Amino acid sequence: MGRIEYKVNEPVRVEDVIRVFRSSGIRRPVDQEERIQQMIDHSHLIISAWDDEKLIGVARALTDFSYCCYLSDLAVDADYQRSGIGVQMIERVKEKIDEQTALILLSAPEAMEYYPKIGFEKIENGFIIKRKW
């Protein structure tokens, strides 16, 4: 692993994002390339992590940059996990949205222990209408 570079709203290729999603273990519709492309296209903020020319991490957010920001994806290639890349991408999201904006996410069950370790507070006052895939 070389020096990791982080980029803000750098164009990312859908096939690279799908590869990172698959490797990371995040559950996303990786067999629906068009849908993943729409997810990329409609994001307000994408922080990407790169090892040379290889995309190794993606943090994707929807936000108004004023009140709230939903961190919809945080994915790091399995070969690079547990090296602080996810934390660094979250820090860059926080820098872009400023302290006046709440950072909100929905966690996969297997990641519930991770987020409190990096500064997130668990909340109980949320609701969801689930997607119908």
Examine residue 25 and state whether it is found in any structural domain, yes or no.
yes
Strand pairing of 54-63 and 102-104? unpaired
- Domain encompassing residue 38: 4-117
Examine residue 125 and state whether it is found in any structural domain, yes or no.
no
Examine residue 31 and state whether it is found in any structural domain, yes or no.
yes
| 3-state SS track over the chain | CCCEEEEECCCCCHHHHHHHHHHHCCCCCCCCHHHHHHHHHCCCEEEEEEECCEEEEEEEEEECCCCEEEEEEEEECHHHCCCCHHHHHHHHHHHHHCCCCEEECCCCHHHCCHHHHCCCCCCCCCCCCCCCC
Examine residue 131 and state whether it is found in any structural domain, yes or no.
no
Closest C-alpha among 99, 97, 91 to residue 70: 97
CB contact set of 101 (below 8 Å; sequence gap of 6+): 63, 64, 65, 66, 67, 68, 69
Q: What per-residue confidence (pLDDT) applies to 1?
A: 65
The total domain count for the chain is 1
71, 53 contact by CB (below 8 A): no
Examine residue 17 and state whether it is found in any structural domain, yes or no.
yes
CA–CA dist 126, 133 (Å, integer): 21
Per-residue pLDDT of the chain (133 residues; tens, 9 = 90+): 678 999 999 999 999 999 999 999 999 999 999 999 999 999 999 999 999 999 999 999 999 999 999 999 999 999 999 999 999 999 999 999 989 999 999 998 888 999 999 999 999 998 988 888 7
The CATH number given to whatever domain includes residue 85 is: 3.40.630.30
Examine residue 11 and state whether it is found in any structural domain, yes or no.
yes
